[in-house]
Amino acid sequence: MLAAKKILLGVCGGIAVYKAVELVSRLRREGAAVKVIMTGSALKFVSQLTFREISGNPVAASMWADIPVYNVEHIALAEWADALVIAPATANVLAKLASGIADDMLTTTALAVKAPIILCPAMNTNMYENPVTQSNLEKLAARGLKIIQPASGRLACGTYGAGRLPEPIDIVQEIDDYLRGGSMSGLKVVVTAGGTIEPVDPVRYIGNRSSGKMGYAIAGEAVRRGAGTVLVSGPSSLPVPPGVTAIKVETAVEMKDAVLAEYGDADILIKAAAVADYRVKDICAAKIKKKEETLTLELVKNPDILKELGRLKTKQYLVGFAAETDNLVENARVKIKEKNLDMIVANDVSMPGAGFNHDTNIVKFIYPSGEIVSMEKASKQEIAAKLLDQISAAISSRPERDSQGC
Please, what is the minimum distance in Å from the beta carbon of residue 45 to ligand CTP? 48
Number of residues that bind ligand CTP (CB under 6 A): 14
Cα of 111 vs its chain's centroid, Å: 21
214 SS3 class? helix
Restricting to residues 266-295, name those near ligand CTP by CB under 6 A: 271, 273, 275, 277
Please, what is the minimum distance in Å from the beta carbon of residue 328 to ligand CTP? 10
d(CA 275, CA 210): 9
- φ, ψ of residue 275 in degrees (nearest 5): -85, 135
- Give the single-character DSSP code of 240: P
Which helix (H) or strand (E) covers residue 208, if one does? none
Question: Residue 52 region, left (φ>0) first, then alpha (ψ -120 to 50), else beta?
Answer: alpha
Which residues lie below 8 Å from residue 261, measured CB to CB, with a gap of 6+? Answer: none
- Quick one: 265 or 330, whose CB is closer to ligand CTP? 330
Please, what is the minimum distance in Å from the beta carbon of residue 192 to ligand CTP? 6
Which residues lie below 8 Å from residue 388, measured CB to CB, with a gap of 6+? Answer: 184, 218, 221, 222, 225
d(CA 97, CA 10): 12
- Quick one: 195 or 220, whose CB is closer to ligand CTP? 195
d(CA 113, CA 217): 23
Please, what is the minimum distance in Å from the beta carbon of residue 295 to ligand CTP? 24
> What string marks each residue from 194 to 233 as x (binds ligand CTP by CB under 6 A) or -?
----------------------------------------
The residue from 19, 26, 35, 335 that contacts ligand CTP (CB under 6 A) is 335
Q: Give yes or no for a contact between 89 and 53, defined as CB atoms under 8 angstroms apart.
A: no
Under the binding rule (CB under 6 A), the answer on residue 263 touching ligand CTP is no
- Quick one: 171 or 273, whose CB is closer to ligand CTP? 273
> What string marks each residue from 71 to 90 as x (binds ligand CTP by CB under 6 A) or -?
--------------------
The residue from 20, 190, 252, 395 that contacts ligand CTP (CB under 6 A) is 252
Query: Which residue in 12, 120, 157, 406 is the catalytic one?
Result: 157
- Give the single-character DSSP code of 181: G
- Quick one: 273 or 378, whose CB is closer to ligand CTP? 273
Restricting to residues 290-329, name those near ligand CTP by CB under 6 A: 302, 304-306, 320-323
d(CA 63, CA 66): 9
- Quick one: 106 or 306, whose CB is closer to ligand CTP? 306
Q: Give yes or no for a contact between 119 and 82, defined as CB atoms under 8 angstroms apart.
A: no
- CA angle (312 as vertex; 306, 316 as ends), nearest 5: 80
d(CA 191, CA 169): 33
- Quick one: 86 or 273, whose CB is closer to ligand CTP? 273
Please, what is the minimum distance in Å from the beta carbon of residue 323 to ligand CTP? 4
Would you call 406 a catalytic residue per the annotation?
A: no
Beta bridge partners of 18: none
- Quick one: 104 or 221, whose CB is closer to ligand CTP? 221
Please, what is the minimum distance in Å from the beta carbon of residue 346 to ligand CTP? 9
Residues forming contacts to ligand CTP in the complex (CB under 6 A) are 252, 271, 273, 275, 277, 302, 304-306, 320-323, 335
Enzyme catalytic residues: 157
